[in-house]
Amino acid sequence: MSTFFEKNWFKLALGAILIAMIASFAYKLWVNSSEPDQRLTAMKQSPSFQLQDLDGKTVASADTDGKVRLVYFFYSFCPDVCMPTTFLLTQVQDALKKKELFGTKSEIISITVDPNRDTPAVLKEFGSKFESKPDPSGWMFLRGEEGKTHKLAEDFGIMVIKEKDGNFSHSNAILLVDKKGKLRNYYDASNPELDADHIVKDVVTLSKEK
C-alpha cells in the first residue's frame, strides 16, 4: 500500500486539488444562481450591543429591531478600505431612498473600532466628505469603549487587530442583519464585483419578510 502511494503521490495530490477546485466552483455557481431565500439562510443571532451615537445617546441593538440592518465596522483614519466601502454604502443609501425603504424598513449602522480618535466631531467630519452624505434618519455612526467594540466585532465574525502605529487591520465586510436580528449574509466589501444593487436587492428581499 505504501509503495502505491509513494509512486502515485503526485497524481493523487493533483487529483485532490482538482476536486477542491471543482467543489469551489460549484459552490460559487450555487451561491450566484440560487434563490434569495436559500442564499440568505439565517446563520446565527447577531450579538446584542449598547453603544453611543454622535449625540451621546445610548443606542441598543434592540432599538433597531424591526428593520433590515447593514452593519459595518470601520474607522475614519483607515488608510485604504473604509473610505471606498463607506462610499459604497452611500450608494446603497440612495437606492434604498428611491425604494422608500431607508430609515423606515432598513438602516445602516457604522461602528468605529477606533473610538479614542474617532470622536463625534471627527466622525461628523468623516461623513461630510461624501457627496451623498450619510443621512441620520437611517444611518447611525456608533461608538463605544475600544475593548468592548472589538469584542463586538469579533462576535459578529469580524477580525480587528491593533497595529503598533495605532491603526487597525480588520475584516472589510458588510453584515446583513434581518428584522429579527438574525445574521443573514457577509459581503466582502473588498470584492470589486460587489455593487450597491446586489446589496439593495437582498435588503428588499428581507424587508418583505414577516
pLDDT digits (tens, 9 = 90+) for 65-97: 999 999 999 999 999 999 999 999 999 999 999
Burial (CB count <10 Å: 0-12, 13-18, 19+), residue 207: middle
β-pair partners for 173: 188
CA 206 to each of CA 40, 66, 172: distance values in angstroms, whole numbers, following the listed order: 9, 11, 22
How do residues 48-59 score in pLDDT, each as one tens digit? Answer: 999 999 999 999
Give the per-residue pLDDT at 1. 45
> Higher-confidence residue: 37 or 192?
192
Give the per-residue pLDDT at 38. 65
The pLDDT of 128-151, averaged and rounded, is 97
For the cut 50, the answer to whether the pLDDT of residue 130 exceeds it is yes
β-pair partners for 50: 60
Grid cell listed for 15: 487529483
157 contacts: CB under 8 Å, gap ≥ 6: 171, 173, 175, 183, 186
For the cut 70, the answer to whether the pLDDT of residue 25 exceeds it is no
Give the per-residue pLDDT at 29. 38
pTM of the predicted model as reported, rounded to 2 decimal places: 0.81
Instruction: Find the distance separating the first CA and the last CA of the chain, reported in whole Å.
Output: 58
Give the per-residue pLDDT at 37. 55
CB 36: neighbour CB atoms within 10 A?
14
